[in-house]
Chain A
Amino acid sequence: MGYIIGEEAKDLLRDVKEFCEKEVKEQIKEYDVSGEWPRPIYEQAQEMQLHMMDVPEEYGGLGLDHITQAALVEQMAWADAGFAVTMNGNGLALKPVLISGNEEQKKKCSEMIVNGGYGAFALTEPDAGCDASNGKTTAVREGDEYVLNGRKCFITNASVADFFVVTAMTDKTKGTKGMSAFLVYKGTPGLSVGNHENKMGVRTSTTSDLVLDEVRIPAENLLGEEGTGFVTAMKTLDLARIWCAVIGVGVAKRCIDEAAAYARQRVQFGAPIGKNQAIQFKMADMEIRTEASRQLIVHALTLADKGLPFSKESAEAKCFAGDSVMQTSIDAVQILGGYGYSREYPVEKLMRDAKIFQIFEGTNEIQRMVVGRSVIGKI
């Protein structure tokens, strides 16, 4: 564990570890196969307050520091990536509210999460993935209301969310400066959840389309000012990318643990395969990559905590951790050989889970663009 945490955090981590090992790790397997959302496990996790780690203390949250939170989220991801993604989805939805919302909005959304609700961040659209500014969803002001129309896709927690942060164009002529962010609550007429994705990995996290058909919301549901939605979304993603990296590291750590356990007990040619340098070197690379990912995370979180710019560093952490966990999961499957390819063993799931970390919260190609442009500067 590369995070340097205090005694209180270690104590919390022990409890979370025990919970994850006894209530999540094994139970999650059948949900991974069926694709069913594991509500009972999430209800238990909510009782432990694992769903509200991003809620500030003044709004009823825990007031954990970022490094402690990273250690806990990594442990959750170690048990199941989808579990961590679901719990972390609340933070992703709350972040834009905390960035741009007014006091009442912050309080209301925080309370929803603290009381066991879920939030969802609805930015992505069929034609606006990496190119988020190309969104087609519109919001038109009519008196004291906005009318929203459009379709969002790949929305984590959409099918269970009590509130949504929805980005929409209020002025298409202004490009990114014409995008605004709105709070839309579950049950608003015209708001519906569409197609559920049958995903390759993180199958215990629910991902769906969100359809907005003449959705009328009060004008006070606007987050911040009109035209600030893109900036709000990008600031949200800056932090969300670090948590994405943290979850990836949790998956990588599980890959290492499973591969090491197998390397100790699998005997070939009269000796455990872990005695072979070929396996040792592979394990070493898995560990080096994973620890390096952690340290990039720590660096980005430290900058964020100090109020310093961290967009480049969060992109670096997300990109490196995403590529690392993918390679580490491939290595774990390789070390387990035929058994690694079988659903009898856990590493094939880890490999399916790992792929998303190169894709969501901005593909790793986008992360490289962020880092590259930052290094080269204005031309």
Chain B
Amino acid sequence: MNILVCVKQVPDDFAKVHLGENGKPALEGIDKVVNAFDTYAVEMAVRLCENHGGRVVVATIGAEEEVRPSMVQMIAVGANQAYIFAPNTADGDESSVAAGLAELVKKTEETIGESFDLIMCGKESTDEISSQVGAMLAEKLNLSFVSSVIDVKPAEAGLCVKQETEEGSASYEVSCPAVVTVAKPEYDPRYPNLKSKMAARKAVIPYLSDALTPVQPAVRCMNYQEPAKREAGVKIQEKNAVDAVARAIALMADDKVL
């Protein structure tokens, strides 16, 4: 099975991001990591190929030097090949990113001379959290689509995928080729071992500088606002519990919480 995982590099989601003087998120000095949901997708793809055979290709859109470390990391944890595509749009909206990815899928298939049976994306990226790109990619490629997948197995008709739902999970059979977006499975992504990391650093990762057609985004972000800062709270300083509870109830009653 040939699997393509679309990977996005994002600012470390453990870091606190503030707006810079230009009104945009100030990302200087913040580590870049692979989007967590994309790491789940790569792990799921690698496990599928380890158990049933196949090949995992990862691809991303970005500036070569900036995103190469993330691609190296994905090879170190089991991807067989990686490709980097130069961006097709600046400040792209979800639709233009999906258009870029659809073109990326085709160009990668042309490059390797084989078509993909399965295309995987994280269900969302931890920076923008729009959860739209995977579905839009399926639409643009005219392929079947399942979102929030937490398990995937080969099936007679193609693949059996388990989808995480509000209530539990649902299983679907989908024909290939298909697009799925991946949620957090039961397992964690593996750490790269030292040898695989050293080997991955030497991997040839092609950079396709003009493979994607420039796209003008239809939706533009006008400005960002940081969440309103929490106002200072009220300290309840009564000396005993009975008085403290009474004071808390009174405060909540005043604010019509109760």
Contacts and interface: CB of A to CB of B under 8 A. Distances in A.
Interface of A: 8, 11-12, 15, 18-19, 23, 44, 47-50, 53, 62, 64
B187 interface: no
B30 to A, nearest CB: 15
Contacts of A44: 191
B190 interface: yes
B191 A12 contact: no
Interface stretch (B78-86, B129-137, B159-167, B193-201): B193-201
Contacts of B192: 15, 48
Interface of B: 69, 72, 190-195, 197-198, 201
Given A8-B201, A11-B201, A62 B195 contact: yes
A359 to B, nearest CB: 30
Contacts of B190: 47
Contact of B194 (A18, A23, A48): A48
Give chain B's interface secondary structure class: helix
Given A8-B201, A11-B201, A47 B193 contact: yes
A298 to B, nearest CB: 21
Nearest to B194: A49
A18 B190 CA distance: 12
30 contacts: A8-B198, A8-B201, A11-B69, A11-B72, A11-B197, A11-B201, A12-B194, A12-B197, A12-B198, A15-B191, A15-B192, A15-B194, A15-B197, A18-B191, A19-B191, A23-B191, A44-B191, A47-B190, A47-B191, A47-B193, A48-B193, A49-B193, A49-B194, A49-B195, A50-B194, A53-B194, A62-B194, A62-B195, A62-B198, A64-B194
Nearest to A62: B194
A8 B72 CA distance: 11
A47 B197 CA distance: 12
Nearest to A53: B194
Contacts of A53: 194
A379 B14 CA distance: 62
Q: Which 3 residue pairs are nearest across A and B when measured between Cβ atoms?
A: A49-B193, A49-B194, A48-B193
Nearest to A61: B195
Nearest to B196: A49
Contacts of B191: 15, 18-19, 23, 44, 47-48
A53 B194 CA distance: 9
Contacts of A18: 191
A110 B150 CA distance: 39
Contacts of A19: 191
A15 B189 CA distance: 13
B70 to A, nearest CB: 12
B66 to A, nearest CB: 15
A71 to B, nearest CB: 12
A173 B190 CA distance: 56
B36 to A, nearest CB: 12
Contacts of A11: 69, 72, 197, 201
B241 to A, nearest CB: 24
A18 B36 CA distance: 14
B187 to A, nearest CB: 13
Contacts of B201: 8, 11
Nearest to A52: B194
Contacts of B195: 49, 62
Residue of A44, A47, A49, A64 with most partner-chain B CB within 10 A: A49
Nearest to A64: B194
Contacts of A48: 191-194
Contacts of B193: 47-49
Contacts of A23: 191
Contacts of B72: 11
Contacts of B69: 11
Nearest to A7: B201
A47 B194 CA distance: 9
A50 B195 CA distance: 10
Nearest to A46: B193
Instruction: Name which of B191, B192, B193, B201 has the most chain A CB atoms within 10 A of its CB.
Output: B191
Given A12-B198, A15-B191, A62-B195, 9 more contacts: A8-B198, A8-B201, A11-B69, A11-B72, A47-B193, A49-B194, A49-B195, A62-B194, A64-B194
B65 to A, nearest CB: 12
A19 B188 CA distance: 12
B188 to A, nearest CB: 9
A23 B191 CA distance: 10
A132 B72 CA distance: 48
Nearest to A68: B194
A371 B72 CA distance: 46
Nearest to A9: B198
A26 to B, nearest CB: 15
A49 B190 CA distance: 13
A12 B200 CA distance: 11
A255 to B, nearest CB: 24
Contacts of B197: 11-12, 15
A22 B195 CA distance: 21
A53 B201 CA distance: 18
B47 to A, nearest CB: 14
